[in-house]
Amino acid sequence: MKRTNILVTGVGSTTAISVIKGLRRQDEYEVFIVGTDINDYHTIAGAQFCDKFFKVPPASKEREYIKKLMDIIKSESVDLVIPIVDIELEVISRNKEMLEKYTTVLVSPYETVLISNDKYRTYKFFLEHNIPTPKTILVKSSIPREILAEIYKAGISFPVITKPRKGVSSRGVWEIHNEDEIVLINRVKDPIIQEKIFGQEYTIDVFSDGKKAIAVVPRKRIETRAGISYKGETEYDESLISLAKKIVKKLEIFGPANIQIIKNKKEIKVIEINPRFSGGLPLTIAAGVNTPLLAVKLAMGETLNPINRFKKVRMCRYWEEVFFYGD
């Protein structure tokens, strides 16, 4: 069996654990997992899923972070780097050319990451490429009457959704039901306001070789906790799949991404896109589409053929403990 050394960042996150589980759930490659995180080994469950662990500086300290990452890549002969955390995506993508002198880095182009991590830029991108999306405004005032004027000028009615322009998961997301609640917007850093779309929420897991979508798996979000799918099921929907393929091509996605969509009887609206693996990834893997394995194959130079079918499967999740003995 062929062996490959894989570095996964942010192993304190649910998403990183999901990726590592996917890498273990295959028999084509022997994988050696090198995990990194800004927290200590004994404080994060994900560290126990790794063969080796390194504590790294926060990505906000870019020079220190990249130097440490480079040292690990060299010392561990890393074949593939899989970034997980949003801020790391930007930093690693910006330094991708330098890092790829020594390894394969599974991250989209820098401009793609910048557009995806900025919800207002995402909105403008969707408009430019005729991708259906909720009406969105950038809040420029903290005065309630001026905010209300902006909302009505844009043709948005209550209820509305406010969220940080650059946010992670569901943090800082509020539903504002009427004019009296508009003051809640001032709790959000650099907020945007979106019209609320009613309907079924979906996450679409996609994987691209940089030229075309290799895998597209829509997942119905039945129940979420902290922005992560807790109960869900896969659903083959050609309209969602076609739309996802268009986004992958226009945004020049390389590797994984997940697209948030709401669909009702009248319309489909794309809410946002994250150019990384998703927390609900285990459901896609259980459906027969192991995207972390696709990442390994891509790094090893294999040709990837599009995957056009997947299983109908439902997922429920539960908590599980890990233990650290000694000091």
Residue 18's Cα: distance from chain center in Å?
12
Per-residue model confidence (pLDDT) at position 322: 86
Any idea which residue has 């304190």 for tokens?
Answer: 12
Share of the chain above pLDDT 70, in %: 99
Would you say 298 and 209 are in contact if contact means Cβ atoms under 8 Å apart?
A: yes
> What would the mean pLDDT of 247-251 be, rounded to a whole number?
97
Any idea which residue has 């880095």 for tokens?
Answer: 105
Q: Which is it for strands 200-208 and 104-105: parallel, antiparallel or unpaired? A: unpaired
Q: Which tokens go with 66?
A: 């990249």
Q: Which tokens go with 2?
A: 């062929």
Per-residue model confidence (pLDDT) at position 247: 98
* pLDDT confidence band for 327 (50 / 70 / 90): low
Sequence-separated (6 or more) residues with CB below 8 Å from residue 238: none
> What would the mean pLDDT of 185-194 be, rounded to a whole number?
91
DSSP structure class, residue 189: S
Type of residue at 296: V
End-to-end CA distance of the chain: 37
Would you say 81 and 296 are in contact if contact means Cβ atoms under 8 Å apart?
A: no
Per-residue model confidence (pLDDT) at position 169: 62
* pTM of this prediction exceeds 0.75: yes
Sequence-separated (6 or more) residues with CB below 8 Å from residue 22: 281, 282, 285, 290, 291, 292, 293
Residue 291, pLDDT > 70, answer yes
- Provide the residue count of the chain: 327
pLDDT digits (tens, 9 = 90+) for 52-81: 999 999 999 999 999 999 999 999 999 999
Q: Where do runs of H (alpha helix) occur along 46-170? A: 62-75, 86-94, 96-99, 110-117, 119-128, 144-153
Q: Which tokens go with 111?
A: 């401009």
Residue 245, pLDDT > 90, answer yes
Sequence-separated (6 or more) residues with CB below 8 Å from residue 38: 12, 55, 56, 57, 58
> What would the mean pLDDT of 251-273 be, rounded to a whole number?
97
Per-residue model confidence (pLDDT) at position 304: 97
Q: What is the DSSP string of 114-136?
A: HHHH-HHHHHHHHHHTT-----E
Per-residue model confidence (pLDDT) at position 298: 96
Domains of the chain: 2-107 (3.40.50.20), 135-195 (3.30.1490.20)
pLDDT digits (tens, 9 = 90+) for 87-115: 999 999 999 999 999 999 999 999 999 99
> What would the mean pLDDT of 287-292 be, rounded to a whole number?
98
* pLDDT confidence band for 257 (50 / 70 / 90): very high
User: Among 105-114, 118-127, 137-146, 268-277, where is mean pLDDT lowest?
Assistant: 137-146
